[in-house]
Structure 1
């Protein structure tokens, strides 16, 4: 018998509809029941793409004995972290503060008022391997709730109070270019100079960090910067973290060499990486980067766009019975059956094939194989493409991992902007067509007062800011004034709803709601995707330059100042902030031209914006010169 999640909007919640747990969505109904029955709340947060969420669902929430314990002793609340990032963000902070780790599935126990007192991530059903089992944990917390509630809540209250105090701290400070230099040094100091990327496994893409390095390289020609970027972008492009058969990136690598990923594909990752590889190609003219950018676009062209406009949110890692990556992995015998002898010989070198299961990655490139085998490079490329086509045919006969077709405004804003950059660089008419169609669909989420995050969910500040950035990118390539006007109005409304008038910066949501939703949060840390307060000053600086509205420039300055203190102390936490600061200090490179419009549109330069206008002027900061 289905539970009440059967009619949920979220596909992640609907997948839990047939579990024996008596799930609630995050709602007044759930909190009312918890208060009336004096029961703690079990909060479970995850995503439809998340492998370990599926594992915990199968082993714990589909377990009749565990479900019985939950239903008798707790009010169970299920949240989709993509649909409600505000809930996830706050309770992740609590779990990280108490355990030193975070992630999904997120498992948190709350008072009937929604204050957390214990949490973690994945729990196995039974005790073992040094981990407490979920059944044991549920019984222990239930017993302590009845017999020793004060000790259960005491330390948690201290943590919650410290979170509240941290959210109210003033990090404002003056800033100058030395802060950017600190940020760049922090990226370089944390580089893996053997395998590329930042830090050790698990490795995330950190696209904005490398965009920052590319920006500084453009103006300084510092070879250390481009070496770090190329090492990383080459490694990711050749690794298993990139889908070698059709394109698009998986969420992160489980190893230092980028070979074995977690296999979910996320819209926000691919949007940021499309922009990054497009910029990298413009600066280096490296063919590999063009191919990777095209691969991302090809993936979305085939699998990731709604016919009404809008980019889909994600693609799952699993197929079948919790088989992570099974769609993408090939056994050696399977490959031998598909390819002819010549194809197998070259594919073995190219993909580094071995006995057992293979995650496809580039082990030797075409030139290296040509030299080893004495075969012309062109022929090697032809054979590799033939082998890829055959393997892709085999893969596409398999069960396809679930695609979440939800349209989220924030992530769509990022991809609209990236598609506009791709169009400017590669002149692919499909990119501008799909960007504009997606922008038009999202404008239906905007009624002039409220912007939706997705159907029937009010937007967060990142929806307003990221979509406004997508809209001004659309304005630049189409020169349709309605996109600029909408960007201006949506940004103004974001200021009305979310701006911190005391210290500057944007709160993530309106500060009301149960539990930690009353906590005011101004997100600055890239996670590693760009944060709203990291990138908002770039939007405000651009709008100030394009519209001549000084108020936007003043807000950009206040926003940058609001977080300068924490960036001074932790310069690696927000490369997106450093990019915004770079643009603010240097100024937008505003080109007003009719005669050279197409040429200037396609000419790469950081912080450039082109308007079709008879002025024939180039302005940077307060200095203008004639383009004639």
Structure 2
């Protein structure tokens, strides 16, 4: 957690004192009398005829901390908020359903969004004002919170009817957005259109997408990898490689302790907002692993393994689940844990190695990190490279491998020195959906790199979820301090199914495939819209708020509908059950009108469409898992980048897989050797017995 949550006197605490969310607990001793989201707050607003002041954020959010220090910890502002409103705090990571609805409102009203998210709404939860960060007082940074409160108070006192009318109109608009109508199947050309859209938005100078702040957007990279594989378009591969290398060189990457920061505030990938999110690590590990498979470049494998080392070392609970995030701030300062002075480097590494390290990682006495408020250099440095290893090696006349080892030795000296610092706060809640992404990343990397330790960790994370966050076929969203809570949402199911499918194909333990199929049944029963198609974000048995949304566009995370589209296609290919294909076709038609308007916002969904429309294959290997001939085939498949392939292993002792996939009964070993069957588009090729024949069939 980012701030002290040690026990205070009961009379100094507000209504958040019994919550589990680290973010809510950060605010439990504010003079603002915060309530958690729930009927107690709503009824109080109705009884007292007060609007609700809704503040949404998350524990590792830098600007959330700033607004808290400036305003929510201020007794005068606290008193004003309490007089005028019923204040409600929401952790967006605990309640993504609430956050999504009111973020959409903010974007409708202001044209943009972000956190902290500030919403003012009627006692029946209908919004009439939205914004993000507000300083305490009006000035160069915009309208101050004090003036905002006073203005809303005057309007509520004198023009309540107009505010209620505005809130009703906004809610109607929100309902229309959430109630799409199905269209036709997507046209084939939409894949190429999406590629060209990404190409136009690609930063030719610094890589990545856009020309201001830089976000990793790994789902764009996963789409481009599949597009390159399908078309052979070299520019698609160039965009991927330039972006992955730019991120690895930049300040967005923590080269001392590993892992990626959330995003950079500059175009060059140098100056990060320092929070580290679990989902970014998982998705980027996938992107680097697949890029290694596609190109064979060792830097990508090293990066993926380093990111996973960070996750397993710093983000794993003793029980096997994975924590959510690490803060941007420590000791009240953004980035303090990660920054270095030239003097510190010299003292720790000595004159010669210190000078070399400073040259490689762009360290200077004046520093490259500026004070946020004053905009002046602080003498502190963000470690980053401006050149490739080979360029630096040639410039310094040091062999590339020798230079790498020198820098790794320096890192091993700096890491324990940094560990001795006061660490950023850790948000130690465990979320089902984000853990599903980590299970996916570990499973893919375990298979590709032959890392059994990754597969063990993935299996233990599945065990944790199924023990602590799964009951009677349903998932819960959050676990912390022994308590599971909040009904599972679409992302929880879709991401976990994804992880289970990858883990099955890496371990061939049929229990994982069985669990994926059962979760899919629950998802269909409680989330699927039987009238129009598409998955709702919330289940039919959860308390509903304002509107029940269906979304497929990707944000920092791929949407649950997008991931589920891929899950359905793979389940269809694995099992041959037509209901999976029928559901995926309905899902595509529901979202096609929206996707046609801005296809680049749906790259994860369109990766699934490529899986459906390009030649895709189910490979079944018959043989004992540990036999040399079976292992030969599996290792041959691991070396190749084959995003259009799903894999099944049928051994003599595995009765469960035969139960889950009845068509396996028709496949038998040939010549008493490991045998591979390749099936796709309704036909099966003749069985083969060698890795070379198998790979030739797939190519």
1:422-461 correspondence to structure 2 within 5 Å:
422-444=445-467, 445-454=469-478, 455-461=484-490
Name the residue aligned to 1:197: 208
Structure 1 runs not aligned, ≥5 long: none
CA separation in 2, counterparts of 1:75 and 1:511?
28
Post-superposition shift, 1:621? 2.5
The CA distance in 2 between the partners of 1:448 and 1:172, in whole Å, is: 36
Which residue is equivalent to 2:515? 486
Structure 2 counterpart of 1:183: 194
* 2:100 is the alignment partner of 1:89: yes
- Kept in 2, the 8 Å contact 1:511–1:520? The answer is no
Whether 1:476 aligns to 2:499 is no
Question: Which whole-Å CA distance do the structure 2 matches of 1:203 and 1:230 have between them?
Answer: 16
In the TM superposition, 1:63-462 aligns within 5 A as: 63-129=74-140, 131-321=142-332, 323-354=333-364, 355=366, 356-444=379-467, 445-454=469-478, 455-462=484-491
Distance in 2 of aligned mates of 1:268 and 1:257: 22
- Other structure's SS at 1:519 match: coil
Tell me the secondary structure at the aligned position of residue 406 of structure 1.
strand
1:525 to 2:553 alignment: yes
439-448 or 13-22, larger mean C-alpha shift? 439-448
Counterpart of 1:599 in structure 2 is 635
Render the CA deviation track for 1:506-563: whole Å, top value 9, x for unaligned.
110136888x823121111100321111121110111112122211111011111211
1:627 aligns with 2:688: yes
Paired with 1:34 and 1:408, the residues of 2 have a C-alpha distance of 31
> In structure 2, what is the equivalent of residue 613 of structure 1?
650
The within-5 A match list for 1:573-592 is 573-586=601-614, 588-592=616-620
What is the CA–CA distance in structure 1 between the aligned matches of 2:577 and 2:688, rounded to whole Å? 23
Deviations 1:220-250 (A, max 9, x none): 2211111111111110111111111121111
TM-score, length of structure 2 as denominator length:
0.87
Shift of 1:601: 5.0
Is contact 1:248-1:265 (8 Å) kept? yes
Distance 1:308 1:359 in 2: 34
- Give the deviation of 1:587 after TM superposition: 5.0
State the distance in 2 between where 1:252 and 1:15 align.
Answer: 23
Structure 1 window deviating more from structure 2 (598-607 vs 423-432): it is 598-607
Cα displacement string for residues 240-275 of structure 1 (whole angstroms, at most 9, x for unaligned residues) = 111111211111111111001111111111111110
Q: Secondary structure at the match of 2:601?
A: coil
1:503 to 526, 532, 538: 532
Contact 2:526 2:541 in 1 (8 A): no
Residue 536 of structure 1 is matched in structure 2 by: 564
SS of the residue 1:119 aligns to: strand
In 2, Cα distance between the equivalents of 1:219 and 1:161?
43
- Quick one: distance in 1 between partners of 2:136 and 2:519? 47
User: What is the number of residues matched between the two proteins?
Assistant: 626
Alpha-carbon distance change, 77 to 493 in structure 1, aligned in 2, over 3 angstroms:
same
Which piece of structure 1 moves more, 349-358 or 153-162?
153-162
Given that 2:487 and 2:542 are in contact with CA atoms closer than 8 Å, whether structure 1 keeps it comes out as: no
TM-score, length-scaled by structure 1: 0.97
CA distance in 2, matches of 1:25, 1:284: 49
SS at match of 1:517: coil
Question: Structure 1 residues 616-625 or 68-77, which shifts more?
Answer: 616-625
CA displacement, residues 34-62 of structure 1 (integer Å, 9 cap, x when unaligned):
00111110000000010010111111111
1:308–1:588 Cα change, 3 Å:
farther
Kept after mapping to 1: 8 A contact 2:223/2:606: yes
Q: CA deviation at 1:141?
A: 0.7
> What is the alpha-carbon distance in structure 1 between the residues aligned to residue 592 and residue 620 of structure 2?
33
Contact 1:542–1:588 (CA under 8 A) maintained in structure 2: no
Report the Cα distance in structure 2 between the residues aligned to 1:273 and 1:368, rounded to whole angstroms.
25
Deviations 1:85-111 (A, max 9, x none): 000000001111101111100010010
CA contact (8 A) 1:202 1:253 kept: yes
The answer on whether the counterparts of 1:349 and 1:364 sit within 8 Å (CA) in structure 2 is no
Report the structure number with the largest CA radius of gyration: 2
Q: Provide the rounded CA distance (Å) in 2 between the counterparts of 1:370 and 1:469.
A: 41
Q: Distance in 2 between matches of 1:406 and 1:600?
A: 39
* Inter-partner Cα distance in structure 1 for 2:455 and 2:542: 39
Does the Cα contact within 8 Å between 2:342 and 2:358 map onto a contact in 1?
A: no
Aligned residues of 1:351 and 1:364 also touching (Cα < 8 A): no
Q: Secondary structure at the match of 2:204?
A: coil
